[in-house]
Amino acid sequence: MKTAQFLLAAMLALPAMDTAQAAEIELWRLDCGSIKISDLSAFSDTLRYQGEQRTLTDSCYLIRHDASYMLWDTGLPAALLGASQEGNGMKPSLSKTIKDQLSEIGVAPDKIETVGISHNHFDHVGQATDFPQARLLIGKADLDGFRAEPPAFAVDPSLVKPWLDGKAPVNTVEGDKDVFGDGSVVMLSTPGHTHGSYSLLVRLAGKGAVLLSGDTVHFEEQFTNNGVPPFNVDRAQSLASMGRLQDMAKALDATLVVQHDANDIAKLPAFPASAK
């Protein structure tokens, strides 16, 4: 499996062979909530961040591939609209829904054909059921995690009920997944945070390659200090996945975006502007 992933990474690093026929790709950064953290040491198994506080972004993304639309992650549940972030612990809150943001750019919810999920935690699948017609793409191990008894930390099976009940289409992913078959959008296997975690490569004609981190890290400095949260399922896999994204970013001269880091997501235009 690792050999196949490395071969695919090498192939992805090659220039496009037929740019005249390439699909038109457009990428929007959506606001899918925020999480106020009163003790950031919960995000390092070496207690590196003791005494620090931070508000993490909960970003998700809309991708247009010619006339097809895909969501990458679906943020916090709509039940958290206007939730208070006062007090200690982890306090999630949502200020606007994905559907409301899509309406601003004239994309009807039923136009979403694919929902790609980085991993199965509630802050990444929260609004998935607003798009029950969509094909769900998710790591096989993380779909299996929705069926586990009891569910693991931060996993809420009700948030993906249509797909668990067989009422909506789902494709499980193992290894890397070329979503549209042309190398423009590729799910990259980056396990460690969960057993079936993924990141996403998006190739844009103007901006170039963009790598969306999923939860491979939660903020940029974790790449340089090898910061691994204690709630990750595998430390060694976490570090290997961090290295894979960094190496690929160098190979492709890509913009690497940490989805929970406010400074990092600012590498992409603020909604409703898009990157092309």
User: What pLDDT is stored for residue 10 in this prediction?
Assistant: 45
Look-up of token digits 């998710």: 138
List the domains of the chain with CATH numbers: 2-265 (3.60.15.10)
Lookup: tokens for 194:
């969960």
Please tell me what DSSP assigns to residue 99.
Answer: H
Q: Strand runs (DSSP E) across 190-276, as ranges?
A: 198-204, 208-212, 255-257
Neighbours of 4 (CB within 10 A): 11
| 152 within 8 A of 207, measured Cβ to Cβ | no
C-alpha–C-alpha distance, residues 109 and 102, integer Å:
7
C-alpha–C-alpha distance, residues 78 and 247, integer Å:
36
| 231 within 8 A of 119, measured Cβ to Cβ | no
Look-up of token digits 């939730």: 83
How many degrees, rounded to 5, is the angle at CA 68 between CA 164 and CA 218? Answer: 60
Can you say how many angstroms the Cα of residue 273 is from the centroid of all Cα atoms in its chain? Answer: 19
C-alpha–C-alpha distance, residues 164 and 155, integer Å:
13
Lookup: tokens for 117:
């999920």
Alpha helices in 136-197 (DSSP H): 140-146, 161-164
Which SS3 state, helix, strand or coil, does residue 265 take?
helix
User: What pLDDT is stored for residue 8 in this prediction?
Assistant: 52
Rounded (10°) CA dihedral 81, 59, 243, 53: -50
Rg (C-alpha) for the chain, rounded Å, is 18
Handedness of CA 5, 10, 12, 16 (dihedral sign): negative
User: What pLDDT is stored for residue 13 in this prediction?
Assistant: 45
Per-10-residue mean pLDDT of the chain, 276 residues long, equals 48 44 94 96 92 96 98 98 95 98 98 98 98 98 96 95 97 98 98 98 98 97 95 98 98 98 97 98
User: What pLDDT is stored for residue 228 in this prediction?
Assistant: 97
C-alpha atoms less than 13 angstroms from C-alpha of 199 in its C-beta half-sphere: 29
User: What pLDDT is stored for residue 177 in this prediction?
Assistant: 98
Which amino acid, one-letter code, is at 97?
T
Lookup: tokens for 274:
């898009």
Question: Who's near 8: CB < 8 A, 6+ residues apart?
Answer: 175, 176, 186
Backbone angles phi, psi at 79, to 5 degrees: -60, -15
